[in-house]
Structures are given as C-alpha cells and as structure tokens.
C-alpha cells in the first residue's frame, strides 16, 4: 500500500493574515516559508522514497518544493482550501497511491512517533483525523485518497467525521500533542513561545527515604511510598531515572564471587593483570568479547563488551554500595534492563497516569576522556536518540546529521544528584520536552562494530 503525502501551502505573501496584529507583512511571509520548509524537510526525510507533493499557487513555494524533490500540484480555484485538497486527491490517484495524507504547512513541531501513530491507524480505518487544538483538521489520512469530500473550515474535524459516517466508512480521531498545534493566531504564537520557554526550564529532584533494597522488592512500591512520605507525586511528562544498583538488587543479581569457578582463560587473564580469578570469571560470564586487559592499580584493568553490547570496565559488575555484610559479593547488571524499565514504567503510569518515562542508569567511562558519567542502559517510553535531521537550528539553518543521545543526556543530568555517597538511587526530571516512544531501547545507541572508531 502506497501513502502519498500532500502539503497544502498558501501563497506565503497572503498567509498568516490573522497574525497581522503582531507581525508585519514581511515577518508573516518569512514565518510561513519557515514553517513550510520545516514541514517539507520532515516528510522528505520520514517518507524517503515515497511520493510527497505540495499544493500551491506560489512560484516561490513551487521552487522550494522542487529543490527538495517534491511534486508540485498546481492550485486552482482562487485559494479555496477544499479545492486544493481535491487536487491533492486527484494527484494521489493519478500516481497510483492507495492512501493520501493531507497536512497543513504551519505545524510548528512534527515528530516521527506521532506521524507513525497516525499512519498505523489506516490498517483499521478509512478516515483518520489529526484534530487541531481548535477543532479543525491539521492532518487527514484517507484510504482511498478520495474516500470523503473535503470539508475544511471551522470545526472541520467534526465535518470530516460526519462525512465518513455518511459514507459508511470507519473513522478515528487522534488528538496528538504536537500535531494538534499550528500557528494561525497571535495566541498560537504566544503559546508556541511559551512552550519553547518552558522547554528551557527543567526541574531535577531526588526521591528520598528509599531504604536498602533486597531481592524481590517491588521498586514501584518503594518509589511511590517514598514520594508520599515526601509529599511529592509524579506528573505527566516526568522522566524517572533509577540507578542500576537497586534494579539489580531487586532482581536478585547479587552473587558471591566464590560462586564463579575460574576457567583456564580466567586464571590466565587474572595472572596477567593481577585480578582475582573468581572476579575475572564473573566478568567473562557476562561478556561476549575482551576488548582491553592490562596490569594497573588497584586490581587490573579489564574492558569487555557486555553480552548486551555495552563496552565497559568489568562488564558493569560492581562491588560498591552493596550494603552491610556483603563483602565478597558482586552485583551484576540486570538480565534485561529495558524490560526492567518497562515494568517500572507500567507500574508508575498505573499509579500516576502518563506518559512517564523510565531510565535505568549506570556509570561508564568514556573513550578519550577521564572520569565517569551516568548513561542509560535500560529505557522505557523515552527515546534513546532524537533525530534532528530535517529540523532547523536557532537561526533557521537546516540540520542534516544531528542525533542528540537524549536518554544518556537525561541519565547524566540525574547523575549530578545520584552521588556515590548520597544514597539517592531515584531521580525525577521534570519539564523536559520529549515524545513517548514505545519501541525504544537503550541499545539503540550502540554503534555497529563495523562503524566503531575507537577499537
């Protein structure tokens, strides 16, 4: 099934007239072009290889469209939006597309996860409506492309839904956080700047009074009870960073070093670097490769690739902060830290609602730099990496290869409060801008071995 994307774009010189009280003509035109180019870049990236068309009467807009490899669909009908959408449907049918997604060119922020959610609904519905904040239609997905007549205008989401029901077609409305927000009025512009301002302000606090964790403890219960004791609660959009130590302890990953019987490889390697052979065997049992080994204080350096792909010292096995009476014990990483994060997230969202993100963090060293930093080894809900390709920087310049490691950055921020001697294994980050990503995994950050530059 082929989906065609059609972007409806007015002549920028005549666009955004409702912003006249706050923006001069040239500023409105520049804003319209900036929003349009951002929308076009987004869909050329996410719909790479698929048909993308722009319905416009503007030669300037048409030239930009061609520069990005989009089809230009000539607008006729004196600027009537429903006539423009009708041209888009004719174009989609003409190229053999089975579905058509019609979007406006003035949505300030587009994110992959929301568009993916929209497109996924076409498997069960002929008409999918991305509802705008004022009851309009910011995105309309039709299967086939001419499934219903277009009814843009005030309260068009209701009109499109009624048209679907009149035609006997299945229909679903989606109110998506970013896709619902366009910029048409001075209030929309103020709201957008307010959202940008809030995104620059974040809060980070520790969940205190969590006692020593034992095997079998329910971390969700421990976290929620600690929040109650300190008169706090989680809110939608919070990210909860949980130290790997308490996750491993709760999952029974605390093992006596003497339980690991050294193999010949462990005995040989231990003698070379000056490390206890039982500990070396534990490290090897958790690893797929030995990357570096050498004799150095205090007890030898052993860098391995953990069986989940992490390259770190001692396969992430720890001996600090294990609790009283636990000398000679080793704490291994969770069996599956992503699954651990998902379980915690499910419990917290059942209690507080969502979305809530969860990160299981650990401290790793880094190539070329001294010192340790918190990184994500398990995530649920939050993206591991945010792809900024197709977006613009603060000056409107298009970005081509910018991939912030969002989960690692959040884990590192939490590490400022999660000190080794603080006894604060749970940190909440509030006020960050992120889109819930159901299929994310901490392993998304791993670079394929063929691209590894540091080995």
- pLDDT at res. 6: 95
Nearest residue to 218 (alpha-carbon basis) of 382, 351, 354, 325: 351
Phi and psi angles of residue 173, each rounded to the nearest 5 degrees, phi first: -105, 135
Q: Lowest mean pLDDT: which of 14-23, 86-95, 201-210, 350-359?
A: 14-23
pLDDT > 70 fraction of the chain, expressed in percent and rounded: 93
Q: How far is CA 78 from CA 9, 41, 44, 86, 154, in A?
A: 13, 27, 28, 13, 19
Fold of 3-195: Spore Coat Polysaccharide Biosynthesis Protein SpsA; Chain A (3.90.550)
pLDDT at site 391: 60
Q: Please give the structure tokens belonging to residue 444.
A: 């998304």
Whole-number Å distance between alpha carbons of 265 and 270: 8
Cβ contacts of 229-233, under 8 Å, gap ≥ 24: 232/205, 232/207, 232/428, 233/352
pLDDT tens per residue, range 233-242: 998 889 999 9
Give per-residue pLDDT as tens, 93-112. Answer: 999 999 999 999 988 888 88
Taking 70 as the threshold, does the pLDDT of residue 356 lie above it? yes
Three-class secondary structure assignment of 277-297: HHHHHHHHHCEEEEEEEECCC
pLDDT in tens, 446-455: 988 777 777 7
* Confidence at residue 143, expressed as pLDDT on a 0 to 100 scale: 95
- Cβ-contact 399, 393 below 8 angstroms: yes
Residue 172 has pLDDT above 70, yes or no: yes
In tens, the pLDDT along 78-87 reads: 678 999 999 9
Average of pLDDT values for 68-82? 86
pTM of this prediction? 0.60
Residue 158 CB contacts under 8 Å (≥ 6 apart), including other chains: 135
- CB distance 356 to 240 below 8 Å: yes
- Give the pLDDT of residue 195: 61
Q: Which two tokens stand for residue 294?
A: 């050498």
261 touches 281 (CB < 8 A): yes
**Stronger pLDDT, 214 or 325, i.e. the higher one:** 214
**Preceding peptide of 355 cis, ω within 30°:** yes
CATH superfamily of 254-332: CofE-like domain (3.90.1660.10)
350 token code pair = 């059942």
pLDDT band at 45 (very low <50, low <70, confident <90, very high): confident
- Is residue 400 very low, low, confident or very high in pLDDT (cuts 50, 70, 90)? low
- CATH: 3.40.50.2000, 3.40.50.1980, 3.30.1330.100, 3.40.50.720. Which one for 202-252+335-455? 3.30.1330.100
Peptide bond into 4 cis (omega under 30): no
Per-residue model confidence (pLDDT) at position 397? 61
Per-residue model confidence (pLDDT) at position 394: 56
With cut-offs at 50, 70 and 90, classify the pLDDT of residue 250.
Answer: very high
pLDDT, residue 236, reads: 85
Q: Average pLDDT, stretch 6-19?
A: 85
Mean pLDDT of 141-168: 94
pLDDT at 5: 96
Give pLDDT tens digits for 282-332.
999 999 999 999 999 888 999 999 999 999 999 999 887 676 767 888 999
For residues 116 and 342, the model is more confident at 342
Please give the pLDDT value at position 12: 83
CA dist 441 and 383 (Å) reads 8
Query: Which DSSP category does 252 fall into?
Result: T
Q: Average pLDDT of the chain?
A: 88
Query: What pLDDT, on a 0 to 100 scale, did the predictor assign at position 179?
Result: 87
**Six-digit token string for 370:** 């001294």
Q: What percent of the chain has pLDDT over 90?
A: 57
Query: Quick one: pLDDT at residue 451?
Result: 78
Residue 145: both structure tokens together = 């492309």
Q: How far is CA 390 from CA 8, 39, 82, 143, 403, in A?
A: 19, 9, 28, 27, 11
- The pLDDT tens digits for 32-44 are 888 899 899 889 8
Domain ranges of the chain: 3-195, 202-252+335-455, 254-332
Burial (CB < 10 A; 0-12, 13-18, 19+), residue 306, is: buried
């Amino acid at each position: 099934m082929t989906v065609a994307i059609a972007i409806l774009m007015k002549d920028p010189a005549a666009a955004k007239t409702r912003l006249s009280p706050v923006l001069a003509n040239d500023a409105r035109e520049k804003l319209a072009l900036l929003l349009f180019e951002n929308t076009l870049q987004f869909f050329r990236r996410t719909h790479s290889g698929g048909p993308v068309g722009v319905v416009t009467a503007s030669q300037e807009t048409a030239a930009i469209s061609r520069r990005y490899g989009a089809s230009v669909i000539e607008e006729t009908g004196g600027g009537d939006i429903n006539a423009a959408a009708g041209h888009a449907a004719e174009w989609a049918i003409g190229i053999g597309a089975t579905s058509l997604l019609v979007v406006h060119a003035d949505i300030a922020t587009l994110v992959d996860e929301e568009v993916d959610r929209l497109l996924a609904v076409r498997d069960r519905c002929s008409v999918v409506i991305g509802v705008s904040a004022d009851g309009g239609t910011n995105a309309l997905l039709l299967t086939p492309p001419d499934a219903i007549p277009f009814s843009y205008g005030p309260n068009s989401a209701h009109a499109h839904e009624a048209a679907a029901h009149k035609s006997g077609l299945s229909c679903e409305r989606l109110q998506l956080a970013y896709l619902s927000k366009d910029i048409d009025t001075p209030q929309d512009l103020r709201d957008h700047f307010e959202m940008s301002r809030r995104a620059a302000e974040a809060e980070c606090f520790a969940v205190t009074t969590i006692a020593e964790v034992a095997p079998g403890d329910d971390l969700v219960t421990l976290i929620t009870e600690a929040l109650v004791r300190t008169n706090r609660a989680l809110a939608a959009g919070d990210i909860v960073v949980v130290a790997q130590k308490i996750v491993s302890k709760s999952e029974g990953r605390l093992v006596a070093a003497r339980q690991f019987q050294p193999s010949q490889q462990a005995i040989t390697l231990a003698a070379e670097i000056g490390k206890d052979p039982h500990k070396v065997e534990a490290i090897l049992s958790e690893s797929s490769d030995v990357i570096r080994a050498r004799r150095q204080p205090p007890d030898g350096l052993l860098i391995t690739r953990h069986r989940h792909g992490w390259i770190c010292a001692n396969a992430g096995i720890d001996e600090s902060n294990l609790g009283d009476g636990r000398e000679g014990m080793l704490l291994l990483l969770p069996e599956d830290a992503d699954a651990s994060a998902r379980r915690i997230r499910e419990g917290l969202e059942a209690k507080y609602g969502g979305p809530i993100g969860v990160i299981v963090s650990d401290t790793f060293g880094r190539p070329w730099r001294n010192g340790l930093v918190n990184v994500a080894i398990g995530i649920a809900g939050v993206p591991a990496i945010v792809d900024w390709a197709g977006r613009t920087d603060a000056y409107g310049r298009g970005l081509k290869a910018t991939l912030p490691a969002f989960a690692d950055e959040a884990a590192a921020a939490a590490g400022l409060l999660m000190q080794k001697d603080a006894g604060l294994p749970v940190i909440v980050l509030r006020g960050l801008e992120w889109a819930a990503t159901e299929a994310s995994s901490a392993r998304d950050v791993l670079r394929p071995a063929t691209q590894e530059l540091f080995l």
